[in-house]
Structure 1
Amino acid sequence: MGRTRTYGWEDPEVPARAAGAMAGLEFLREVQAGRLPGAPLGQTLDFALDEVEHGRAVFSLLPGEEHYNPIGSMHGGVFATLLDSAAGCAVQSTLPLGMAYTSLDLTVKFLRPVTVETGRVRAVGTVISAGRRTALAQAQLFDANDRLLAHATSSCMLFPLTG
């Protein structure tokens, strides 16, 4: 009765080097277009960057059994990963060449369960406020009928890349 899933990923150093050589929006557009590999975690969970523009990023995932917790619905960590990715990449899309970010916190509110019957979900991240040292972003997780499944806010630290 066991199930298996096989996947692969690209060398994470390739996009990491590229991220330091491009403005955030340019980098994310290269990832979205497939000219640069995305994060290995995207392959692990099977989610993708679908849209990106200045201050906004959208990721999607088709829920599968491999995303389940022991009680038969999508694990909260998968929700959080999608929301963190959308919020963080929304911030990244605003950064100039030579700047980077890291998440300082993530607050998630789970509103509805997600199962394989839910169908494709999408996490929409937007920047609420951006300063010189920190940015605040939000992300919302929706089903195909635009029902809100979860909501998150994230504070991000902005910093210059070194050498």
Structure 2
Amino acid sequence: MGRTRTYSWDDPSIPAQSARELAGLDFLRAMQAGLIPRPPIGQTLDFDLDEVEHGRAVFSFLPGEEHYNPIGSVHGGVFATLLDSAAGCAVQSTLPRGTAYTSLDLTVKFLRPITAETGRVRAIGTVVNGGRRTALAQAQLLDADDRLLAHATSSCLLFPIPA
């Protein structure tokens, strides 16, 4: 039995340019509505932005074998990517036009394994504190029964987008 996966992605400069032109919440809502293409990482791991509001972002993900580590469960880097995306986009949703962010750190606590049998999981990111230069966010990774699978905190640096 062969196992393959094929996917494609759009030019990453398209969402990057839109991020420069829109306030964070407007940008994320346009992406959620399909008006702006998902970034390549969303296509690569096949996760979706399901909800976004000021200070909150929710992604969902259906784990599969293609996400496994050598011991037969979803790789911790996939957990971290989902949590980083949720926390970062929660921060982005609060930013005015012309302001960007980058993650300064990400601290992840892995609490339960994820396998293909786990089913769809959600990464819920929220802003804990927003400042002029930095923001602190957290994210929780939950299964369909709202069991906590992992938790993360992230510090983000806020900066003006270069012309």
TM tier, shorter chain? Answer: over 0.9
Describe how 1:116-135 pairs up with structure 2 within 5 A: 116-135=116-135
Measure the CA separation in 2 of the matches of 1:38 and 1:106: 22
| Offset at residue 2 of structure 1 (A) | 3.2
Does residue 144 of the first structure (1) align with residue 162 of the second (2)?
no
Measure the CA separation in 1 of the matches of 2:72 and 2:53: 35
CA RMSD, Structure 1 to Structure 2 (Å):
0.5
Measure the CA separation in 2 of the matches of 1:61 and 1:162: 33
2:29 aligns to what?
29
1:114 aligns to what?
114
List structure 1 runs of 4+ shifted beyond 3 angstroms.
none
Measure the CA separation in 2 of the matches of 1:10 and 1:162: 23
SS at match of 1:78: helix
| Offset at residue 162 of structure 1 (A) | 1.5
Q: 5+ unaligned residues in a row in structure 2: which ranges?
A: none
| Offset at residue 73 of structure 1 (A) | 0.4
Measure the CA separation in 2 of the matches of 1:16 and 1:162: 12
Percent of aligned pairs with the same residue?
79
Measure the CA separation in 1 of the matches of 2:8 and 2:28: 20
Describe how 1:58-137 pairs up with structure 2 within 5 A: 58-137=58-137
Measure the CA separation in 2 of the matches of 1:7 and 1:33: 20
SS at match of 1:20: helix
Measure the CA separation in 1 of the matches of 2:7 and 2:38: 14
Q: Which TM-score applies when normalising by structure 1?
A: 0.99
2:16 aligns to what?
16
Q: 5+ unaligned residues in a row in structure 1: which ranges?
A: none
